Amino acid sequence: MSSKEKQWRKTVGTRRVCDLSSRASAISRFEGVPMGLTAHVGAVLLLITTLFWGGGFVAQKLGASHLGPNAVIVVRSVLAVIFLLLVQVVRRRPNLGFSPRTVRAGLFCGVALFVPMFAQQKAFDFPITPGVCAFLTANYMLLVPVFGVFIGRRASRAEWIGLVPALVGTYLICLTGADVFKIGLGELWTLLCAALFAVEILVVDRCAPGTDPLALSIVMFGVCAVCGAPLMLLPAERALLTGANVQAAVPALLFLGLGSSGVGYTLQNVAQGLRTPPALAAVIMSLESVFGALFGWLFFGDAFTTRCLIGCVLVFGAALGVELAHLVTGTGEK
């Protein structure tokens, strides 16, 4: 394997543990962080970030019970843009980090982000729990190297092996009732979103180098808001845009926009700037699906069947195993 191939695999492997719109910023350092802070603080910040992201699945379900998917995406994206712009002001970045390269990359990456965001939010229009959505979404980690094959990247042996338990686990999670061939629409939308997130990561991997990570996220969120705005005015969604529905959805929208997107991305950049060990970061950030299931149980009383629980363990174990193997091979260790 060439050194260039190893570097790509290491880079994409690190990015795959990041959230919806800022996967590529995991390799960037947050400037201005006091050097006295330790990697242990970085680990704690990553844990808090992952808690925000896991809670985002519950907020998405709450938002979907009142508003259409595009309305949720538009509001959370606008809130995220406002929050991250304030962070950029505090950072005192020249031109707030918006170089022509960053803006161009953000336009492409923003479109690539909007589509899986819509698919994931649409899934909550159907009977699906936050935990199931979280674990099925985690399949994107395994799909990135598979899709990478089509653009000339070679998947490692660990990545191909990891697909086997992931596929079995996904099948067990998706089964509804006693019918071994029946898969719910919510699960299908989530699987689509996982595949689309894998494509988005490859787009970010191609476009993001040389850009400011938070400025890139701002442009991407802005594009998501622009893409979703006209769609939220379609008859099916417009009928839900009542004062009562908007008011009921406010807590979920605030959490998604300011918490999951705004605070989450900022803490992620700070934590990575503190040089948190990559293996530890991979373990912590892979807990996103676990926290999604935990919050689903706390807020909705969601319970897993034995079959579904086994599936979740298989998907989580496969994703985490591939991430750790990716880091080992990326550093040249055997």
The pLDDT tens digits of the residues spanning 233-245 come to 999 999 999 999 9
Non-local (6+) Cβ contacts of 18 within 8 A are 24, 25, 26, 268, 285
Given a contact cutoff of 8 angstroms between Cβ atoms, the answer to whether 109 and 45 are in contact is no
* Mean of the per-residue pLDDT values of the chain: 82
**Residue pLDDT, tens place only, 162-221:** 888 888 888 888 875 555 566 789 999 999 999 999 999 899 888 888 888 889 999 999
H/E stretch holding 201 reads helix 185-207
Residue that has been written with the tokens 């919806």 in this structure: 20
Given a contact cutoff of 8 angstroms between Cβ atoms, the answer to whether 186 and 137 are in contact is no
What are the DSSP calls for 262-278, one per residue?
A: IIHHHHHHHHHHTT--H
The residue-averaged pLDDT of 88-104 equals 90
Non-local (6+) Cβ contacts of 19 within 8 A are 49, 53, 260, 261, 264, 265, 268, 288
H/E stretch holding 181 reads strand 179-183
| Whole-Å CA distances, 144 to 19, 172, 218 | 14, 22, 24
